[in-house]
Amino acid sequence: MLSIVKSMALHGLEGYILSVQVDISNGIPSFEIVGLPGTSVKESKERVKIAIKNSGYELKSRKIIVNLAPANTKKEGSMFDLPIAVGILIATGFIKNANIGKIIKETILVGELSLKGTVEKINGILPICIEAKKLGVKRIILPYENVEEAKIIKGIEILPIKNLKQVVNFLNGETLKIEKSKEKVKILKKYNKDFSEVKGQEKVKRALEIAIAGGHNCLLIGPPGSGKTMLAKRIQTILPDMTFEESLEVTKIHSISGKLSKEQPFISTRPFRNPHHTISKNSLLGGGRIPKPGEISLAHFGVLFLDELTEFNKNTIEVLREPLEEGKITISRVETSITYPAKFILIASMNPCPCGFYGSKKNKCTCTQSQIKKYMSKISGPILDRIDMYVEVNEVTYENLQEVKKEETSDEIKRRINKARKVQINRYKTEEIFSNSELTLELIKKYCDLKKANLKILEKAFYKLKLSARAYGRILKVARTIADLDNSKSIETKHLAEAIQYRSLDKKYWEERKEY
């Protein structure tokens, strides 16, 4: 007998309907899965047989062939256990409902089976539900442990189940008793850090405010102990609020990666990722035989903080070129090619030289010019060119530490950032971009128009700092953000001058380098 059950397979963040076709006939007893099954799918044969037996359904020795269609795409994961088991039970007559054809036509099933017959939690349930809704699926039967994540999506019937027997009873016409899960109140994440704890460093705080307000990449350069890491780790407290659509996209990525918990099924705050400098290229970009999202995708719509940038492997840093420019990463393998979004703000920190004290007012640098040059060459010109702002972080003085004045809190800074982001969203609502950092050359001409006097200032800076065409555009983008924070419709001289100063380290640190 032949039975057909629907499931859902994922290709990156996209999904497609999978037809699980089961044929049971007389012949030499066997159990085969065809249709390009991966290793984890092939292993499901034993799980499914034992789960069916331990759920109270005795299978006779027959020839079982399972086809996963379309047969020209590779299938991976354990989410097909449940539809395969249900297909077998329909074909063997354990499910006899007269309306089974109609029910199955409107339903997809996903879930991993344990040997006991319970249905276990799977990764990627949110993108599965989103894609199922897009494709017109009426209902989805899924593991009970995934219900908090799935119920975010409205307009599709969610049927959470705990074991295989529940599914069989439902398909045989019984009403499925669903335990109502407790509604979770959306609580904004509380942090134990705040910018008010940072004494002095007003210029650096200002630079980070601009960077986050416009989505600009930023490099902090300063000696050890100047507060680079302390400042960077407080950035997460001033990240702008996310829209529901942004939260949904970030949650999809974390769902596929298995990063969601029962306590946090939905990500409502912008991610802040801080990988160690020993990270590999695959971990940073994403990878594996079936590519999974890496740190840059997990930082989507948030911040990727690379502390001690020069300690990272040079080849690892170089792979950031494409995502910094395109806002996405394509991972190619022999069997497949998957694209993941990666629109993140890069915040990096580094020392100015091997000993760390080049330019210090307190300590003497012991490095030679050749050592400094070699040290700085660990960061290539093309990568530096993709960074919008260079910020010099000076050492904190004793007087700074003894100051009694009240420092600005993260909430105060965040309010200004949210206001500037709102201005940008309204300005670019017809352009399909959300922040100043995403401006193309054509849009820069449209939204970053300068007066003649300001054009003269920019021309002088271009030649004096030996800027590239890319750096020229980045100055204008940063100036636009400074104007937005100042609630100014046009870019004034003071906005442009401040933006230029964030490129002044081009001359100080890299004037003599011949990288590009």
Question: In this structure, is residue 276 part of a structural domain?
Answer: yes
What's the CA gap between 392 and 241, in Å, rounded? Answer: 28
Strand pairing partners for 286? 293
Q: How far is CA 11 from CA 18, 131, 156, 332, 386, in A?
A: 12, 11, 21, 12, 30
State whether 132 and 230 are in the same domain: no
**pLDDT on residue 178:** 67
Task: Give the single-character DSSP code of 409.
Answer: P
Question: In this structure, is residue 512 part of a structural domain?
Answer: no
Buried b (16+ CB within 10 A) or exposed e, 41-53: beebbebbbebbe
State whether 139 and 273 are in the same domain: no
Q: What is the β-pairing status of strands 218-221 and 345-350?
A: parallel
**Interval 63-104: pLDDT, tens:** 999 999 999 888 988 999 999 999 999 999 999 888 888 999
Question: In this structure, is residue 221 part of a structural domain?
Answer: yes
State whether 42 and 150 are in the same domain: yes
Q: Which one of 398, 413, 428 terminates a domain?
A: 428
Nearest to 475 by CA among 509, 432, 439, 510: 439
Question: In this structure, is residue 392 part of a structural domain?
Answer: yes
pLDDT at 188 over 70: no
pLDDT at 238 over 90: yes
pLDDT at 509 over 60: no
Strand pairing partners for 16? 9
Tokens at 365, concatenated? 């640098």
pLDDT at 505 over 70: no
Question: In this structure, is residue 493 part of a structural domain?
Answer: no
Cβ neighbours of 393 (radius 10 Å): 20
- CATH number at 47 reads 3.30.230.10
State whether 203 and 94 are in the same domain: no
Q: Which one of 405, 428, 451 terminates a domain?
A: 428
Q: What is the domain extent for residue 118?
A: 2-171
**pLDDT on residue 262:** 79
What pTM value is reported for the model? 0.89
State whether 161 and 42 are in the same domain: yes
pLDDT at 404 over 50: yes
State whether 147 and 294 are in the same domain: no
State whether 227 and 360 are in the same domain: yes
End-to-end CA distance of the chain: give it in Å, rounded: 68
**pLDDT on residue 385:** 87
What's the CA gap between 341 and 357, in Å, rounded? Answer: 38
State whether 387 and 252 are in the same domain: yes
Q: Which of 173-182, 330-339, 493-502 has the highest mean pLDDT?
A: 493-502
pLDDT tier at 185, thresholds 50, 70, 90 = very low
Tokens at 496, concatenated? 């442009």
Question: In this structure, is residue 356 part of a structural domain?
Answer: yes
Q: What is the mean pLDDT of the chain?
A: 90
- CATH number at 263 reads 3.40.50.300
How much of the chain, in percent, has pLDDT values that exceed 90? 69
What's the CA gap between 227 and 410, in Å, rounded? Answer: 16
pLDDT at 190 over 90: no
Least confident of 227-236, 268-277, 285-294, 423-432: 285-294
391: exposed, middle or buried (C-beta count within 10 Å: 0-12, 13-18, 19+)? buried
State whether 201 and 167 are in the same domain: no
Q: Which one of 428, 458, 483 terminates a domain?
A: 428
Q: How many domains does the chain have?
A: 2
Least confident of 95-104, 200-209, 400-409, 471-480: 400-409
**pLDDT on residue 397:** 78
Question: In this structure, is residue 305 part of a structural domain?
Answer: yes
pLDDT at 216 over 70: yes
Torsion-angle region of 454 (φ positive above 0: left; ψ -120 to 50: alpha; else: beta): alpha
Question: In this structure, is residue 435 part of a structural domain?
Answer: no
**Interval 20-55: pLDDT, tens:** 999 999 989 999 999 999 888 999 999 999 999 999
Contact 198, 393 (CB under 8 A): no
Greatest alpha-carbon span in the chain: 89
Least confident of 68-77, 272-281, 283-292, 305-314: 283-292
**pLDDT on residue 263:** 78
State whether 363 and 327 are in the same domain: yes
pLDDT at 180 over 70: no
**pLDDT on residue 187:** 47
State whether 205 and 295 are in the same domain: yes
pLDDT tier at 179, thresholds 50, 70, 90 = low
How much of the chain, in percent, has pLDDT values that exceed 70? 95
pLDDT at 512 over 50: no
State whether 152 and 213 are in the same domain: no
